[in-house]
Amino acid sequence: MSDDIEDTGTPKDRKFVEALARGLDVLRAFTHGSVVMGNQDIARITGLPKPTVSRMTYTLTKLGYLSYSQQLEKYQLDSGVLALGYAYVSNLRVRQLAKPYMDEFARRTNTTVGLTCRDRLSMIYVENCRPAEVTTLRMDAGVRLPLATTAAGRAFLAATPEKEREHLMAALAAKYGDGWAAIRDSLQASFEEFARHGFCLSLGDWDRNVMAAGVPLHLADGSIMALTCGAPSFQLSEDTLKNSLAHQLEMLARDIESLGV
C-alpha cells in the first residue's frame, strides 16, 4: 500500500467496509501526479492485488467516477469525482467567509495565502489567494502538500489533540522510514515554536526556494484547518516572515474564527 495511504480501519472493526475503502484508495491513487493510469499502475501505488484493482476500476467506471480510454488502455478521473469535490468546496462556509480576508492579506503583504485541510498524510488546498502580479506559488484548489514538511501541515499537527497527533506521527514514521528521525526532530522544533509564538515555519524544508508560515484555524464544529502564507525565498526573508508576517497571519486566523465559521 502506498505510504501516503493511512489505515482507517482494522479487520476487527465490523462497521468498516473494506470494499469501499479499497475503491476510495483507487480514486486517491490519481492524486499521485499521473492523469491517466492502468490497473498495474494503480496496483503499484495502492498495494492492492491487480484483480481487485480491475474490479474496482470497472465498478468506478460504471458509476461515472472513472473513464476508460480504449486507445491508451488506461483510466482517468471522470466528472463524478469533480462533482463531489466541487460540492464540498462550494459548500465550505469557512472558504466563502475567509476569502475576502485572505485576498486583502495577500494584496497587502504581496504573498500567496492558502486555506488547507488534512487528508490522511497530506494537506489539501481548498482556497488560494495571491495578488494579480504574483505569478509564482500557484496552488489551486485540490493541490496536495506533505503534512510533515510544510508550514500548513506543521501548524495542523501542532494544534491537533495529543492522541490524534500520536496516531499521525506513527503513520508518518512508517512513511519516512530511515529519514524519520530528522523529520521528527524538525517537527518537534516546530511544535516548540508554535507553543511560544502561535505559528509554524517552513524555511525551505518542503521546497528549498519557498519560505512559508502556517497557523491553525479552529472551526466552530471543533475541526481544524490551517492558513498559510508564503513567497519565494528571493522575495521574502526569514526575518520578515518570522518577525512580521507570521504574527499577522496568526491575527488573520483569529479574525476569521471570530466570524463563527
Q: Would you say how long the chain is, in residues? A: 261
Is the pLDDT at 8 greater than 70? The verdict is: no
CATH superfamily to which 92-257 belongs: GAF domain (3.30.450.40)
Enter the pTM of the model.
0.75
Residue 13 pLDDT level (bands cut at 50, 70, 90): confident
Specify the higher pLDDT residue, 99 or 5. 99
Mean pLDDT across 103-128:
92
Segments making up each domain of the chain, as ranges:
18-84, 92-257
Top CATH class of 18-84 equals mainly alpha
Is the pLDDT at 139 greater than 80? The verdict is: no
Residue 87 pLDDT level (bands cut at 50, 70, 90): low
Q: Do domains 18-84 and 92-257 have the same CATH topology?
A: no
Amino acid sitting at position 160:
T
